[in-house]
A and B are shown apart, each in its own frame.
Chain A
Amino acid sequence: MKSDTIINKQHKNGHPHPEVDELLSSNTKENKVVLAGNPNVGKSLFFNHLSGMYVDVSNFPGTTISITKGSFKDYDIYDTPGVYGISSFNDEETVARDVILSGDIILNVVNALHLERDLFLTLQLIEMGKKVTVLMNFSDEVKKRNIRIDVKRLSELLGVEVIETSAVNKLGFDKLEWAIENAHEGNHSEELHHLLHKTLDRVGSQAEALIILEGDEIVAKKHGVPCGNADQREQIYISRRNRVNEIVSDVEFEDTKKGEFFNTLGRLSLHPLTGLPILAFVLLLVYFFIGDLVSQRIVKYTENTLGKGEFEYHVKSFVGKYTPVDITVHILDDNDNVTDTKSYSFTGGMNADPKKAQEFKRISAPHGTTTEFTFKNPFVRLFFGEFGIITMTITYLLFLLLPLVMGFYFVMAILEDSGYLPRLATMLDRSLNKLGLNGRAVIPLLLGFGCVTMATITTRLLGTEREKTIVTAILQFVIPCSAQLAVITVLMSSAGLIPTVIYIVTIVVVLLGLSTSLNRFLPGESSPLLIDLPAMRMPKLENIIKKMFYRSYGFMKEASFWFFVGALAVGLMELTGLLNVWQNLLAPVTTEWLKLPKEAANAFVMGMVRRDFGAAGLFHLSLSPMQITVALTTITLFVPCIASFVIMLKERGWKQGLIIWSGTWVFAFAIGGIIAQIFA
């Protein structure tokens, strides 16, 4: 098995994709098999089966943003993003178009429950003159719902083979090889033939001729022929739509309509009256799962016991053998209160004083102790100290962030696969309109509570640049990511109810003020909501788990590097004394304006690197409840972490990225200060 995954990097809409071209040109035999279909029909499951590798499977329209290539026997198999038709309205369609145009054989996956929608693409593929086999997925669901589909008749009308499948239950997988071998061209309508005639003579490929006639400027330019105008496209589309409707009424019979539990739930989650309680219930479950189970219990164990207690303790003890170190051991009782403290000083490393070293090991080894190492050598500190590139970053990445990220992706996967997310988008549409967004924006905004970096990437699925800018600004200014949120929750719960209310109200006011003014002053118009609501269904645990691992891995791969960079930056600042300079520089602002201890400036430096390092830096300071409120407000509004900053520059460009970044400086200190002045 061999496979390549190509992440669809950001590019100007419609530009050629060098990565895609490269991937597609790797062979010349007639063996390129392309899986094509509408979003959410199960393409990826077929791909997984054929190639034996996992790809992201998702129930939300618009979440597959990569093309994956695998191989099956002598065939190269390509998975494509789900599209409703071939053209270049957005990035996903452009990518799908390129792959489909170059394919020899198309396996067109359709949802048997939505033939009217899905056959539109099928007819387009057939009219392109491609060799097609239709895989009619969800065929077991059809029977459950008392719908009958005359597969033989459908096959006659289309002129290609139609195979009944159920990908989740692996039905029909044994016929896939036959499906590939027996793919052939289907029936074309006379009318289309006349329309195509002229362009076909000049272009030579029926597929490209059709696409050009339907108004694809890029393909038209490639051949130097005029592309079809909007009227021609509409004419083709309407005649195709009519044919689809005729075919469906010919082959599909419905016995009775059954109101199912999931249908009812889907309907109830749309209307605010019933949808808001459902949302509240969902959020409550999410809170218990992420806020309580994962970020409190699990992370407490992984970070303190595994990360600090085992990993860091052993690494630092090992390093301490060879280099001068001061060690402090705190002995704790059952409630984690310090009952005794012992200090050791090894001026020549532990190896130079074996007796004392043994005494230290004896005291520090049992559970219920915490050990602090202070290395004398600044370079050793850089790598193994409190903010050491190796010690802190690895603990942070593996024992704090990873469990949180996995927990979050687990929840997102359930929300996506159940079909709840697009309904939530619909319910919140009107409220988001006031912020200059439509319901779709709920996805990046929700994801932001997991990781702002990932959410910034997800803004790609929004319709206009204007919406992307607004959502990016909201994410970078006000949305705390899960790692930061965990720290905020702990600190806030120690501060009490009133500070928490002040904090939340401040953040919400900033959110509303920011987005409504962006909506007012940004030129242009945002796009209205138009979204397909997939059937509500029980998500499959297997898919959820796979998706969770796949995405967590993808995220760690993309972001880890920036965490090490951040740690190195802080380490160097400490080493060179810049950290002190910074503290002194900010001291007047920190102490006078924000009314915080001087050391809080540390937290702000860290905030530039990782948002939550910033919040975590506040743990060590003994702050009053009001000071906690001020500090957390400032940290939340303050500049995003370095990873999300870099991604933002990539997505939004230098100019806009830097404006947003410097804007967070001004806002954070201004608003933090106002709170301090009012309540202190």
Chain B
Amino acid sequence: MDKLTLDKARKGSYVTIISLPAGVVKVQLIRLGVTEGTKVYCMERLPGGTVVLQRNRQEIAIGYDLAKKIEITLS
């Protein structure tokens, strides 16, 4: 499987989170339901790279600079 960063995820695809950047942001992501190993749906990828993830009915918007630091695989 190819490793990518989240900003490259295609709209409408399911991706699995491989690694999150360390620090406060990681903890915030875990709280919102995004952990390493979680499978999420990329419901929107805006021009410029802001990504909107969906996990069940929960929607989370992630800025480009953060998305660049999140490693994923396509699944």
Q: B-side interface residues toward A, CB under 8 Å?
A: 22-33, 35-36, 43-44, 46-50, 52, 55-67
* A253 interface hit (Cβ, 8 Å): no
Closest 10 interchain pairs by CB? Answer: A430-B48, A529-B63, A528-B66, A528-B63, A426-B61, A533-B59, A528-B65, A84-B31, A429-B50, A237-B30
Q: 0/1 per residue, A429-468, Cβ < 8 Å to B?
A: 1110100001100000000000000000000000000000
* A234 interface hit (Cβ, 8 Å): yes
* Partner of A426 from B31, B50, B56 at Cβ < 8 Å: B50
* A422 interface hit (Cβ, 8 Å): yes
When distances are taken between beta carbons in the complex, the residues of chain B under 8 Å from A425 are 61
> Told that A87-B27, A121-B31, A429-B64 touch, could you supply 9 new A-B pairs with CB distance under 8 A?
A117-B33, A233-B27, A234-B27, A237-B31, A528-B66, A530-B29, A530-B63, A531-B60, A531-B61
* A598 interface hit (Cβ, 8 Å): no
* A192 interface hit (Cβ, 8 Å): no
Structural contact, B64 and A433, CB atoms closer than 8 A:
yes
Structural contact, B61 and A422, CB atoms closer than 8 A:
yes
When distances are taken between beta carbons in the complex, the residues of chain B under 8 Å from A241 are 30, 33, 35
Given the complex of chains A and B, what is the CA–CA distance between A507 and B44 in angstroms?
33
Structural contact, B30 and A430, CB atoms closer than 8 A:
no
* Partner of B47 from A121, A272, A422, A533 at Cβ < 8 Å: A272
* Partner of A430 from B24, B36, B58, B64 at Cβ < 8 Å: B64
Structural contact, B57 and A529, CB atoms closer than 8 A:
no
Q: Give 28 CB contacts A-B under 8 Å.
A: A84-B28, A84-B32, A89-B28, A113-B57, A114-B58, A116-B58, A234-B27, A237-B27, A238-B30, A241-B33, A266-B59, A270-B44, A426-B52, A427-B46, A429-B46, A429-B50, A429-B64, A430-B63, A431-B48, A528-B25, A528-B62, A528-B63, A528-B67, A530-B25, A530-B61, A530-B63, A530-B66, A531-B61
When distances are taken between beta carbons in the complex, the residues of chain A under 8 Å from B66 are 528-530
Structural contact, A530 and B57, CB atoms closer than 8 A:
no
Structural contact, A234 and B31, CB atoms closer than 8 A:
no
* A230 interface hit (Cβ, 8 Å): yes
When distances are taken between beta carbons in the complex, the residues of chain A under 8 Å from B28 are 84, 89, 530
Contact A85/B31 with A430-B49, A530-B25 known, Cβ cut-off 8 Å: yes
Structural contact, A234 and B63, CB atoms closer than 8 A:
no
* Partner of B46 from A85, A89, A121, A272 at Cβ < 8 Å: A272
Given the complex of chains A and B, what is the CA–CA distance between A116 and B58 in angstroms?
8
Given the complex of chains A and B, what is the CA–CA distance between A270 and B59 in angstroms?
11
Structural contact, A116 and B55, CB atoms closer than 8 A:
yes
* Partner of B58 from A85, A117, A270, A429 at Cβ < 8 Å: A117
* A314 interface hit (Cβ, 8 Å): no
Contact A271/B30 with A532-B59, A533-B61 known, Cβ cut-off 8 Å: no
Number of interface residues of A (CB under 8 A): 40
Structural contact, B62 and A530, CB atoms closer than 8 A:
yes
Contact A430/B47 with A241-B30, A529-B61, A532-B60 known, Cβ cut-off 8 Å: yes
Given the complex of chains A and B, what is the CA–CA distance between A230 and B58 in angstroms?
26
Given the complex of chains A and B, what is the CA–CA distance between A121 and B31 in angstroms?
8
Contacts between the two chains (Cβ within 8 Å), count:
114
Residue of B nearest to A257 (CB): B57
Structural contact, B33 and A533, CB atoms closer than 8 A:
no
Q: 0/1 per residue, A87-130, Cβ < 8 Å to B?
A: 10100000000000000000000000110110011000000000
* A9 interface hit (Cβ, 8 Å): no
When distances are taken between beta carbons in the complex, the residues of chain A under 8 Å from B63 are 429-430, 433, 438-439, 528-530
Task: Decide if the interface of chain A is mainly helix, strand, loop or mixed.
Answer: helix
Residue of A nearest to B20 (CB): A234
When distances are taken between beta carbons in the complex, the residues of chain B under 8 Å from A270 are 44, 46, 52, 61
* A221 interface hit (Cβ, 8 Å): no
* A267 interface hit (Cβ, 8 Å): yes
When distances are taken between beta carbons in the complex, the residues of chain B under 8 Å from A85 are 27, 31
Given the complex of chains A and B, what is the CA–CA distance between A532 and B31 in angstroms?
11
Structural contact, A433 and B30, CB atoms closer than 8 A:
no
Structural contact, B26 and A234, CB atoms closer than 8 A:
yes
Given the complex of chains A and B, what is the CA–CA distance between A242 and B60 in angstroms?
19
Question: Nearest Cβ distance between residue A41 and chain B, in whole angstroms?
Answer: 13
Given the complex of chains A and B, what is the CA–CA distance between A333 and B69 in angstroms?
69
Question: Nearest Cβ distance between residue B38 and chain A, in whole angstroms?
Answer: 8
When distances are taken between beta carbons in the complex, the residues of chain B under 8 Å from A271 are 44, 46
* A390 interface hit (Cβ, 8 Å): no
Structural contact, B48 and A120, CB atoms closer than 8 A:
no
Given the complex of chains A and B, what is the CA–CA distance between A166 and B61 in angstroms?
27
When distances are taken between beta carbons in the complex, the residues of chain B under 8 Å from A234 are 26-27, 30
* Partner of A530 from B22, B44, B60 at Cβ < 8 Å: B60
When distances are taken between beta carbons in the complex, the residues of chain A under 8 Å from B55 are 116
Residue of B nearest to A87 (CB): B27
When distances are taken between beta carbons in the complex, the residues of chain B under 8 Å from A530 are 25, 28-29, 32, 60-63, 66
Question: Nearest Cβ distance between residue A59 and chain B, in whole angstroms?
Answer: 14
Structural contact, A430 and B46, CB atoms closer than 8 A:
yes
Given the complex of chains A and B, what is the CA–CA distance between A532 and B55 in angstroms?
12
Given the complex of chains A and B, what is the CA–CA distance between A3 and B9 in angstroms?
50
Structural contact, B33 and A116, CB atoms closer than 8 A:
yes
Residue of B26, B65, B66 with highest tally of chain A CB at under 10 A: B65
When distances are taken between beta carbons in the complex, the residues of chain A under 8 Å from B59 are 266, 532-533
* A535 interface hit (Cβ, 8 Å): yes
When distances are taken between beta carbons in the complex, the residues of chain A under 8 Å from B65 are 433, 528
When distances are taken between beta carbons in the complex, the residues of chain A under 8 Å from B22 are 230
When distances are taken between beta carbons in the complex, the residues of chain B under 8 Å from A528 are 25, 62-67
Residue of A nearest to B22 (CB): A230
When distances are taken between beta carbons in the complex, the residues of chain A under 8 Å from B35 are 238, 241-242
Structural contact, B61 and A430, CB atoms closer than 8 A:
no
Given the complex of chains A and B, what is the CA–CA distance between A116 and B33 in angstroms?
7
Residue of B22, B26, B46 with highest tally of chain A CB at under 10 A: B46
Given the complex of chains A and B, what is the CA–CA distance between A528 and B55 in angstroms?
20
Question: Nearest Cβ distance between residue B11 and chain A, in whole angstroms?
Answer: 9
When distances are taken between beta carbons in the complex, the residues of chain A under 8 Å from B33 are 116-117, 120, 241, 244
Structural contact, A430 and B44, CB atoms closer than 8 A:
no
Residue of B nearest to A266 (CB): B59
Contact A535/B57 with A84-B28, A530-B25, A530-B28 known, Cβ cut-off 8 Å: yes
Given the complex of chains A and B, what is the CA–CA distance between A438 and B66 in angstroms?
11
